[in-house]
Amino acid sequence: MLTQLLRFEYRYHLKQLSFLAAAVIFFALGLTAVFGNYRGSGVHVNGPYVVTLLVGILSLSAIFASIVFCANVVLRDTHHRTEQFIYTSSLTKPVYFISRLAGLLLAVFVLLCLASVGLMAGSLLVGPGKQGPFNIFYFVQPLLLFGLPNILFGCGLVFATALLTRSAKAVYVTGVLLYVLYMLGSVLGNSPMMANSNPGDAMLPALLDPFGLAAFFGETRGWTNAQMNVQLFSPRGVFLLNRVLWLGVSVIMLFIAYRAFSFRPQVLKTNRSVSKTGTAMPIAYRRIQPVFKGYALRAGWMQFKLEAAAMFKNIPLIVMLLLWVVLMGIELNDNLFHGLFDTSFHPSTGIIVEELHVLRPAMLLIIFCAAELVRRERTVNIHSLVYTTPVRNILFPAVQCAVLALVIFALVSLNILLGLGLQWSHGYFKAELPVYFSLYYYSGLPLLLFGALAVFIQTLIPHKYTGMLACLLMAGLIMFSRKLGVENFLFRYAVTPDMKYSDMNGFGHFAKAFNWYMLYWGAFAMLLLFLSAVLWKRTRRTGERVMMFTIPCLLLVLAASAFIYSKQHNYNFEKWEVVYEKRFRQYADMPQPDITAVRTETDIYPGEARYTVKGWYHLENRSGKTIAKILAGAHPEMTSLHFSGNAASAGHNQFWITLPRPLAPGDTMSLAFTAEADRNSFLPFNNEHSIVANGSYVELEKYLPYIGFNAGLTLGDTSKRREMGLPPIMQGPTTVSPLVDFETVISTVEGQQVITSGTLLKDWSGGGRHYFHYKTAEPILQMFAFSSARYALRRDTLHGIDLRFYFREDEKENVPALMQGLRDGLAYCNAQFSPYTQRSLTMAEIPQYRGVATAYPGVVFAAERLNFKGDFRDSNKVNFAYATTAHEVSHQWWAMKLIPADTSGSKFLTESLAKYTEAMVLEKARGKMHLRNYLLSDNNWYMYVRSFGVEELPLVNTDGETHVVYQKGGLAMYRLKETLGEERVNAALRRALAAKVSRSEELIKELTLDATPDEINLINTCLREVITYSLGISIISCEPVNGKYKLTLKIKTLRNGGTANDLLPIAVFAQADPLAGPIYEKMHRFTGKETLITLLLDQKPAAAAIDPYAYIPDDNRRDNVAVLP
């Protein structure tokens, strides 16, 4: 009998429309999942690592399939009222339990297998650079390691709930709770699935992950690309314990469910009282005409109240809303007060709104609510009665959308209350209610439009669970449409360009595009609403009556789409790069003149999101060859470009300029041009090229015309280059870019200030505009960005240098620290490296779109979020606003004076040296022990990023991996300072500046000057090798001897898995306080894996440490400090 029942269950599932729909969805998920970027371009999407990762993640989606199928497996007897027949048949409890559970497990496992087949098919569609040799075991093994155990746990939990409660709502709640609580646990446990997480080496979170992903990430930390491409993941260590633990939990859970399950019909309570029957009274027939003035409105209002009351009494909805509040609260608290490098922010309304405005996870809630609304009449079997009511069909989908709007209103209101509560609980009472209320529009409306789509799908598809799966599929297509190649927002339902909030500009820049896209998709949603009315009863008369209303909506869709399309300037930047290189790379070695002077007149129009430039280049032929033609062009974001003289367009924003007289070597000439850029909100937002109402920021050198072939405008992704048939990436010029004289006049609207490189010679107003005339005191790099905003100004001087600080009047709290960072950074570099030669140094606030900060000649542009919203009141923490300012100031030396050639290792000469200077300024200001937290944060981040298997080059050869040039570079330079001494390192940097070195090897030559063999070995270790350590220390004994203390330590010193041969610092502390200074600190040479050392101390020790300041790269620092018992 069991075999027959298993066969029946399998065939039953195969015949269900919901199973067929789920099969298509899971296959599509597998097919599209391979197009993501997994651990870099060198990792094969059909390799064992990526396949195992994707199968593990897709097994999470099986939760939703188990919810749908479980209703068919367990609740179908109750729904069809056949349970009395089942329980009174010869069927036994074990056979019933096993057959139903096995049928559910088999159905869901088949779906995961289809997803795996989709992964196979998808891997054949990616480019050859992302494919490896096909191996069937790469796809089979993850199904056994992740698929079966995860399905057993998820399905077992849902099956047990359905079996014991016989309630569809309980099944929903359990499934959603499982998914949401897993996400919540991932946030609290700092799972690597979450953004900006750093899971460390904690074993407990890995064990408690029921789906094994945290343990998988932990076991594969540090895998190289080669390992990911060929090495099957073998169950061992924490992962094996995890699988055994959760398999055991699943078996125990099912055993408890089996024991608690009662295999007998439920006894229904009935009213035993017998009503007295009386004489039937005749009722006269009377015709009733229910259609009267206002009837439709009253009927709609009554229906709305009925639906709303039923919806908000729905226990699963209440549970999901409460979970939403908990999850969002934890996420918001984590992002605000426990950010990267342990940074905290003031809970300003702008930051909170930026965090809360994305409601895409709530699409799951809308899918559930839409299914409940559309199917409620059929669920209670009164749909036939409702069909007879004398109301128009449009009433029902309209009311359903209105109830969804109420749910969304409640959701957004909970977000607002959450934000206000978080602010008030932290003593922040500057709540900006209009900004909060804007969330109803910017967050709620797109979600409501998705709700209209969900209502349409549920009306179109007669099966509730199949409709829910179809809605899930649509939600996935909407969220991942860009990865599927759909770039244009005209084809991405209810999706708009990312809404970025800035306190300087609000949502202002993005509002216009958002309004038009909402008009476009709102009209489309109205079409869906009318179609839902047609399909509701599926009567011809209704269709004819409703279709007449679709014409205005259709016209509105067409009109809005035409306007949007006209603003989009449709081009694909990646395709532009490919065509540009294929057409013009052949001219890369063609002799061209150099730009030696730049003069521009720029007019900014913030209200129109555009600017115009009129400019002149002074060109000099330094090529040694006669030049007859000049190739000139501009970035594709420049909407118009014209040159003086005989300039012929070559297409692609490129021009051939034929000179009236060939330019001989050493000759000069002038070239005039005009250009314009339209940066309206319908275009892809570029944070380096943004014109907004308040806070415009443009890195102008990237958008002014260039001479010759521009290698910076070529495709950088090596795998995509292979797909496009492009040759290897072209190396830039090995010579240093020439310096230029720069002069500009920039105008903006009245009331705004323009900041750019150079000395402000004059400013004046006229014609409703404000003009600013800047000129550099000496030649500078071809770097000249500008910002335009309403600023307050604070001024200071240092050694005759004019210090200017431009900021928003409302953001004063961090200004003193930022000004101090400006002064301290300038003072240290002036004293240690070379005099600052500009007349002024300016710092200006810009919107938070542009990262943290960036430096230009004589100017530092600081983004508002970290620098102005960071909360640095805790003196025990690093003030990153101060540190960042010192870092950017140092770029006036490490980029503006020491100018690297465009070769590998160039970032070491800029960012690594700036990180070193930043650390030294912090040390001078707060002391070495305070600096330890700063160095420790850099150390942890470097080790975390490299644990993802990113191929790493030595510092002298790196191509710009940020964790190498910033974190590792700063740590390496600080280690050299600790070993060689600050004066020797800084003397080498002074010589490098004087010699104008342009390559990292030239700097190493200066560092090794007069160095001992041991010091040269250390320099090579830090800069020419990729070395990590595994250090440890333990206290063997501590004994008093003649008034002193004899401390014996055991030191572990491993380097890249082998034996270290290095000078390493040992420190001893009299207090366990991490900020207390050491009573002993000295470099010791270690040559073995383990070494015993004995120290004689004047004070009683409390703790000992190896690498006490955390500047040596170590992947496990838990044993770097030992505390005396």
Quick: pLDDT tens for 245-270: 989 999 999 899 888 887 665 554 44
Out of 223-237, 643-657, 661-675, 1001-1015, least confident range? 223-237
Q: What is the CATH number of the domain that holds 1076?
A: 2.60.40.10
Domain count, the chain: 5
Q: What angle do CA 485, 488, 492 make, to 5 degrees?
A: 85
Do the beta carbons of residue 51 and residue 231 sit within 8 Å?
no
What is the SS3 assignment for 90?
coil
Share of the chain above pLDDT 90, in %: 44
More confident residue, 1016 or 572: 1016
State the pLDDT at residue 274: 46
Question: Does one domain contain both 1036 and 1019?
Answer: no
Structure tokens at 325: 């509040």
Instruction: Strand 1078-1086: give its sheet, edge to edge.
Output: 1078-1086, 1062-1069, 1103-1106, 1121-1123
Residue where one domain finishes, among candidates 234, 260, 286: 260
Q: Taking 60 as the threshold, does the pLDDT of residue 706 lie above it?
A: yes
More confident residue, 948 or 652: 652
More confident residue, 1110 or 1071: 1110
Q: Is residue 888 part of a domain?
A: no
List strand residue ranges (DSSP E) for 491-609, in order. 594-605
What is the SS3 assignment for 707?
strand
Mean pLDDT of 742-771: 95
State the pLDDT at residue 659: 93
Question: Does one domain contain both 625 and 698?
Answer: yes
pTM: 0.83
Question: Per residue in 188-213, pLDDT tens?
Answer: 555 555 544 554 455 777 788 888 88
d(CA 229, CA 231): 6
Structure tokens at 72: 């068919």
Q: What is the CATH number of the domain that holds 926?
A: 1.10.390.10
State the pLDDT at residue 98: 85
Q: Is residue 402 part of a domain?
A: yes
Q: 296: pLDDT confidence band, cut at 50, 70 and 90?
A: confident
Mean pLDDT of 767-771: 94
Do the beta carbons of residue 457 and residue 474 sit within 8 Å?
yes
Q: 542: pLDDT confidence band, cut at 50, 70 and 90?
A: low
What is the SS3 assignment for 748?
strand
Q: Is residue 877 part of a domain?
A: no
Question: Does one domain contain both 865 and 902?
Answer: no
Do the beta carbons of residue 839 and residue 846 sit within 8 Å?
no
Q: Taking 60 as the threshold, does the pLDDT of residue 996 lie above it?
A: yes
Q: 187: pLDDT confidence band, cut at 50, 70 and 90?
A: low
Mean pLDDT of 742-747: 97
Q: 537: pLDDT confidence band, cut at 50, 70 and 90?
A: low
Share of the chain above pLDDT 70, in %: 89
Question: Does one domain contain both 648 and 724?
Answer: yes
Structure tokens at 261: 């399950």
Alpha helices in 568-686 (DSSP H): 573-584
Structure tokens at 250: 């699943």
Q: Is residue 826 part of a domain?
A: no
Mean pLDDT of 1014-1024: 91
Give me the phi and psi of 680, to 5 degrees please: -65, 165
Structure tokens at 138: 């790469």
State the pLDDT at residue 387: 62
Q: 162: pLDDT confidence band, cut at 50, 70 and 90?
A: confident
Q: Taking 80 as the threshold, does the pLDDT of residue 731 lie above it?
A: no
State the pLDDT at residue 265: 59
Q: What angle do CA 577, 635, 708 make, to 5 degrees?
A: 85
DSSP H or E stretch at residue 417: helix 395-425
The residue with tokens 């799908």 is 457
The residue with tokens 């983004």 is 863
Mean pLDDT of 114-130: 82
User: How would you classify the pairing of strands 640-643 and 668-678?
Assistant: antiparallel
Question: Does one domain contain both 59 and 165?
Answer: yes
Q: What is the CATH number of the domain that holds 703?
A: 2.60.40.1730
Orientation angle between helical segments 93-123 and 2-15, nearest 10 degrees: 40
d(CA 231, CA 212): 18
Question: Per residue in 806-855, pLDDT tens?
Answer: 999 888 889 999 999 999 999 999 999 999 998 899 999 999 887 789 99
Q: Taking 90 as the threshold, does the pLDDT of residue 961 lie above it?
A: no
Question: Does one domain contain both 723 and 781?
Answer: yes
d(CA 96, CA 932): 64
Q: 442: pLDDT confidence band, cut at 50, 70 and 90?
A: very high
Q: Taking 70 as the threshold, does the pLDDT of residue 292 lie above it?
A: no
Question: Does one domain contain both 494 and 625?
Answer: no
Q: Is residue 579 part of a domain?
A: no
Question: Does one domain contain both 628 and 697?
Answer: yes
Report the mean per-residue pLDDT for the chain.
85
Question: Does one domain contain both 752 and 816?
Answer: yes
Q: Is residue 576 part of a domain?
A: no
Q: Is residue 970 part of a domain?
A: yes
More confident residue, 345 or 281: 345
Question: Per residue in 370-425, pLDDT tens?
Answer: 988 888 776 666 655 666 666 777 888 888 999 999 999 999 999 999 999 999 98
The residue with tokens 């120290």 is 1095
Q: 551: pLDDT confidence band, cut at 50, 70 and 90?
A: confident
Q: What is the DSSP letter of 835?
A: -
What is the SS3 assignment for 742?
strand
| Domain with 37 in it | 2-260
Residue where one domain finishes, among candidates 213, 240, 260: 260
Question: Per residue in 25-54, pLDDT tens?
Answer: 888 888 878 776 666 656 888 888 889 988
Question: Does one domain contain both 546 and 643?
Answer: no
Question: Per residue in 782-809, pLDDT tens?
Answer: 999 999 999 999 999 998 999 999 999 8
State the pLDDT at residue 666: 92
d(CA 990, CA 993): 5
Q: Is residue 272 part of a domain?
A: no
Q: 84: pLDDT confidence band, cut at 50, 70 and 90?
A: low
Question: Does one domain contain both 445 and 538?
Answer: yes
Q: Taking 80 as the threshold, does the pLDDT of residue 10 lie above it?
A: no
Residue where one domain finishes, among candidates 237, 260, 283: 260
Q: Taking 50 as the threshold, does the pLDDT of residue 723 lie above it?
A: yes
Question: Does one domain contain both 401 and 443?
Answer: yes
Count of beta carbons in the 10 Å neighbourhood of residue 984? 17
State the pLDDT at residue 191: 58
